[in-house]
Chain A
């Protein structure tokens, strides 16, 4: 059974940083393109970014709202993908989901940016 488990969410002040982790199991993690998607409370799904597998270059892409502030990385030895978030803003407050395209999702972790 495929499982994705996020961790690292919490309360952070505007301008602060936070790192989310997502551990995958039940599939060949090092072959997977791993994605982060977020959902602000009461709003729709927003694609945050993605990291390709090493065979495809391990490159990253980011949505415009987070480009330059967020960084996705992976450690295939730990079956883990990371989302490093800097210069956080109140509008980054959301549930953040780890996603292995197209069908596997974690349960999400809440990030709250507030003073």
Chain B
């Protein structure tokens, strides 16, 4: 199975400041045949289902605020929240869909 490792496990950021979450995969998630990285980011709030933020490592889902951005390729990826808002308090997960056996990172808790 592809292992996804996120860092840090949790972080506290001031309102309006930048939050950066890293995700490392044990296998490259890049398919050269279509030039895409099979990596998504989800936001999870208590009592709610996950919400897709980013797919193909950097494509923002329609309706997701522009302060959320994804970057990276191969085995190293980053989710950045450029200016943290109160409603962004949540746990964030990276997720690989390169392998038929999908896996999630362990999650990063973002607090104010």
Contact = CB atoms under 8 A, between A and B. Distances in A.
Given A35-B102, A50-B102, A102-B40, A44 B50 contact: no
A61 B101 contact: yes
Interface residues of B, number: 22
Interface string B34-62: 00000010101000011110010000010
A24 interface: no
B93 A97 contact: no
Nearest to A103: B52
Range class of the A interface residue count:
10 to 19
Interface string A38-51: 01000011110010
Contacts of A37: 50, 104
Interface in A64-112: 64, 97, 101-103, 105-108
Contacts of A101: 97
Nearest to B108: A44
A10 interface: no
B107 interface: yes
A46 B95 CA distance: 10
B49 A108 contact: yes
Nearest to A35: B102
Given A102-B40, A102-B55, A61 B49 contact: no
23 contacts: A37-B50, A37-B104, A44-B91, A44-B93, A44-B105, A44-B106, A45-B42, A45-B44, A45-B95, A45-B107, A47-B103, A47-B104, A50-B100, A50-B102, A63-B1, A63-B103, A64-B1, A101-B97, A102-B97, A105-B49, A105-B50, A105-B51, A106-B49
Interface of B: 1, 40, 42, 44, 49-52, 55, 61, 91, 93, 95, 97, 100-107
Given A47-B104, A102-B55, 6 more contacts: A35-B102, A45-B107, A46-B104, A64-B1, A102-B40, A102-B52
